[in-house]
Chain A
Amino acid sequence: MIEFTLNGETVATDDDPSTPLLWVVRDTFKLTGSKFGCGAGLCGACTMHVDGVAARTCNLPVSAVAGKDVTTIEGLGTPDNLHPLQAAWHELSVPQCGYCQSGQIMSAAALLATNPSPTEADVDAAMEGNICRCGCYPRIKKAILAVGEGSLAYDATENAAELAEVQS
């Protein structure tokens, strides 16, 4: 049995200790926001936070996170309660296919946690491990810089209220 904290809750698994964390989270704990892209830590689609640090989890054995604190995209924000990066992703219409975006946002969130106002070069360095096959890079960069500068106009609460009004 390996125990760790997943989005604030203590969990335990009897999956083989060599199983990559990504598959334990997706297949055993049924959180599918983190994606599989390469299986070799090359694309970043599987990025989660382990003790606050961005980690590629498709080749990180679950045994390596015993006793640690794991956060996935589901733990960062929800459609009703967006993290500022998620709000920026919406405001700038960042995603295309969207498959890489959980990993992109987790890498960006880890960057902002230690460097709240990154430069363009800081963003390049922090995001270089995340592939976006659709090529959303200019918008990803713009969104991270906008959050860093606090220049967001998007109000998630107001948007939710508007949608509620339509459906009332």
Chain B
Amino acid sequence: MNTINVSRRRFLQTSAVVGGGLVVGFSLSGCSAGPLPIDTAEGGLVPNAFLQITPDNTITFYCPRDEMGQGVTTGLGTLVGEELDIDPMALTIAFAGVHSDYNHPSMGVQGTGGSGSMPGHYLPLRQAAANTRAVILEAAAMALGVPVGSLTTDNGHVISGEERYPYGQFAEVAAKLEAPAETPLKQDSEFKYIGKERPRIDSIAKATGTAQYGIDVDIPDMHYAVVVRSPVAGARLMNVDKTPAETMPGVTDVVEVASGVAVVAEKYWQAKMAAGALKPEWEEVPLSKVDTAQVKQDYQAGFNSDEGVVGPEEGDIAGGLASAETVVESEYWTPYLAHAPLEPMNAVIRIENGEADLWTGTQSPAAAQGLVARFADLDTEQVRVHNTYLGGGFGRRGTQSHVIEATQIALAANKPIKLLWSREDDIRHGLYRPASLMRIKAGIADGRITAWDAHRVGGNQMPDTLRQVLPGILPGMGDGTLNSLVGFSDKVFRDWFVDPSSIEGLSENYDAENLKVTHTTVNHGVPLTFWRSVGHSYTAFAAESIMDELAERAGIDPVELRLRNTEGNPRLQNVIRAAGEKMKAMNPAPGHHLGFAAHHSFATDVAQIAEVSVVDGQIRVHRVTCVVDCGIAVTPDVVRAQMEGGVMYGLTAALYGELNLENGAIKESNFHDYPILRMDKAPMVDVVIVDSGTAPTGVGEPGLPPIAPAVANAVYRATGQRLRSLPLRLTAQA
């Protein structure tokens, strides 16, 4: 066994940067700082990459992060509104084109993920807006011939005495001035919009069907494309007779692309019908022989193999176990999962005269630009990316094989096209949340954890994600070099260092003097990527289940056990204490049982209580109470919505989510066999936001990890059955 000792502190730092990051923790964007992708209106003021004010007082916010439902336009729009002094609802929202000014301030690439948008932009965007307000005031003072100090602002207007002047009136003059760089920001006590109860910016568009998603884009002469892919990931096309599709109504082209065979037709339904007539033959690959049972067997063997890497390690596990009064050892299984955003993957593309336009809802616009450039042999400057609202992201829209497909189809068919995946394509041809087998052996004495020995077996998310993203981020790099890089990352994470996203959350919650995390990579070739809350989506299930197992074995209250072992994590301890007090005061209905779990992820701390009943073997979650500390809640209602959404997404995984392999192919295909939580089974969620004066941390992901163990812990209390596999299934009627 290779042992490389990374101190826990060092590990946590690395993990914070890389673990939840959408792409990579280092800057590879390669974007030149060319002209901004903004059309400046006549007389318009574009003081920076984020804002334009036109003479009619239209104030456009070019949102640098992608809106996938997490409320980023509302959240970042609130920062802009606060310092520019305009109601965020009055901003016109545009999604930024690709430019290095839109790179995430700490991730260094233009992408959205890792619950990083609010922490990354909290100060920089406020500064940009404050500078803009200052230059408007300066222009107004010049135009009105009054001292700047005599002017104030209110909701998009300059106030001079009794008079109100729209900002837009001074845009043209302001455009000739240099905006100041260091305008002082507001004190927290002066906030008008930050921290206030405010509506979402995008709710009217989304309630009236007028919000535009990638699938809604329509361009002149557009044809529709459907791709037939190998049922087994990575298997190449061996042979196909194109005739049956070519002769069907409306079909204009049947072309081969890297991932399979594409049918292009005048209408989507024609392309879809014709694609169904194709009977391609695919190559056999090692994955073609793998079933789910094989995966589980190989993972089990992984515990005993001498291949593996030790990650965080402190103290002496054997000594810690020897001094324990109570030792528990348990294994936990979590399956492969698809993200299943409700809008299936799609892309609209036009390539002509050495230029390309791409419309797609993406979590990674810069990589999308690079992919088109790479596969159409263009410079990135010749590729314009038009981002749209995303019909769900959850990590799925960070990788973009659909953009490669669309590019190859448009070139081969020589026409603008819209590529659309079906739901079956989405479930069967995506990248997945990895399956995991985890074993934790933990000991406690006097309520303190004396040893925490954790081992995870499964595939790593980073190499496959790099394989998808690097060709877009480094479009000029040759295939050989890229393959070496990806191969190298695979080897690194297999033999030298633990991929932080594989084990994040497995050991960080609790104080343990003696601690060790081991990782064994077993990879069958199912493509893997980040899924909402990444490693935490499965590690929290193991870590927070065994805490209840330990507490029960030792006869300690489970909340008390958590409190006693979080002295090193005071913010986590605080949410545990607050939620624990709520739990004590609860009086569940007869037959209802409570389960508790807490977890730290993406710098945010969350504790949850699930109220559960089990009737005729059916687990029903009635109510969830969620306590969250995310620092300053810029948009409290969006924080609540993300906690609600994280709970629901996590409940689907806890109660239903499971993908199985049969001869290497994903067996499930649509919502009948990959069910999603529905309204009649959805709990009410009460969210308590801890009053916190610290800088904001993210909320898109941290609401998810605690819910599965909270429900499992409640099910144990209801039935006496300790369920250690997801989805939770009772072995007999309880």
Contacting residue for B678 out of A82, A97, A128, CB 8 A: A128
Query: What's the Cα separation between A160 and B407 when bound, in Å?
Result: 41
Minimum CB–CB distance from B84 to chain A (whole Å) comes to: 12
Contacting residue for B208 out of A15, A77, A93, A136, CB 8 A: A77
A125's nearest neighbour on chain B, judged by CB, is B680
The answer to whether A68 has its CB under 8 Å from any CB of chain B is no
> Are the C-beta atoms of B204 and A90 separated by less than 8 Å?
yes
> Are the C-beta atoms of A127 and B209 separated by less than 8 Å?
no
> Are the C-beta atoms of B58 and A134 separated by less than 8 Å?
no
The answer to whether B712 has its CB under 8 Å from any CB of chain A is no
Residues in B with CB closer than 8 Å to A74 are 208-209
Minimum CB–CB distance from A60 to chain B (whole Å) comes to: 12
The answer to whether B118 has its CB under 8 Å from any CB of chain A is no
> Are the C-beta atoms of B644 and A139 separated by less than 8 Å?
yes
> Are the C-beta atoms of B200 and A33 separated by less than 8 Å?
no
What 1/0 mask marks residues of chain B from 683 to 708 whose CB sits below 8 Å from any chain A CB? 11100000000000000000000000
What 1/0 mask marks residues of chain A from 123 to 158 whose CB sits below 8 Å from any chain B CB? 111011111111111111100000000000000000
A16-B249 contact given A37-B423, A134-B648, CB 8 Å threshold: yes
> Are the C-beta atoms of B199 and A15 separated by less than 8 Å?
no
Contacting residue for A79 out of B87, B205, B343, CB 8 A: B205
Query: What's the Cα separation between A17 and B204 when bound, in Å?
Result: 34
A97-B389 contact given A39-B423, A128-B679, CB 8 Å threshold: yes
Q: How many CB-defined contacts (below 8 Å) exist between A and B?
A: 217
Contacting residue for B644 out of A15, A72, A135, A166, CB 8 A: A135
> Are the C-beta atoms of A168 and B207 separated by less than 8 Å?
no
Query: What's the Cα separation between A162 and B199 when bound, in Å?
Result: 14
B650's nearest neighbour on chain A, judged by CB, is A135
The answer to whether B251 has its CB under 8 Å from any CB of chain A is no
Query: What's the Cα separation between A18 and B249 when bound, in Å?
Result: 13
B703's nearest neighbour on chain A, judged by CB, is A135
The answer to whether B71 has its CB under 8 Å from any CB of chain A is yes
Minimum CB–CB distance from B387 to chain A (whole Å) comes to: 14
Size category of the B interface is 35 or more
B166's nearest neighbour on chain A, judged by CB, is A168
> Are the C-beta atoms of B206 and A35 separated by less than 8 Å?
no
> Are the C-beta atoms of B205 and A32 separated by less than 8 Å?
no
> Are the C-beta atoms of A166 and B423 separated by less than 8 Å?
no
> Are the C-beta atoms of A97 and B56 separated by less than 8 Å?
no
> Are the C-beta atoms of B342 and A100 separated by less than 8 Å?
yes
The answer to whether A4 has its CB under 8 Å from any CB of chain B is no
The answer to whether B725 has its CB under 8 Å from any CB of chain A is no
Query: What's the Cα separation between A40 and B424 when bound, in Å?
Result: 10
> Are the C-beta atoms of B676 and A96 separated by less than 8 Å?
no
Minimum CB–CB distance from A89 to chain B (whole Å) comes to: 4
Minimum CB–CB distance from B444 to chain A (whole Å) comes to: 35
> Are the C-beta atoms of B90 and A36 separated by less than 8 Å?
no
A90-B207 contact given A36-B344, A137-B648, A166-B86, CB 8 Å threshold: yes
Residues in A with CB closer than 8 Å to B269 are 15-16, 18-20, 23, 27
The answer to whether A95 has its CB under 8 Å from any CB of chain B is yes
Minimum CB–CB distance from B247 to chain A (whole Å) comes to: 15
Residues in B lying within 8 Å of A, measured CB to CB: 56-58, 67-71, 86-87, 89-90, 155-157, 166, 199-200, 202-213, 215-216, 218, 224, 249, 267-270, 340-344, 389-394, 420, 422-424, 637-638, 641, 644-649, 651, 670-672, 676-680, 682-685
Q: Which 8 pairs show the lowest CB-CB distances between chains A and B?
A: A33-B209, A135-B648, A98-B206, A97-B69, A99-B391, A96-B69, A73-B209, A137-B682
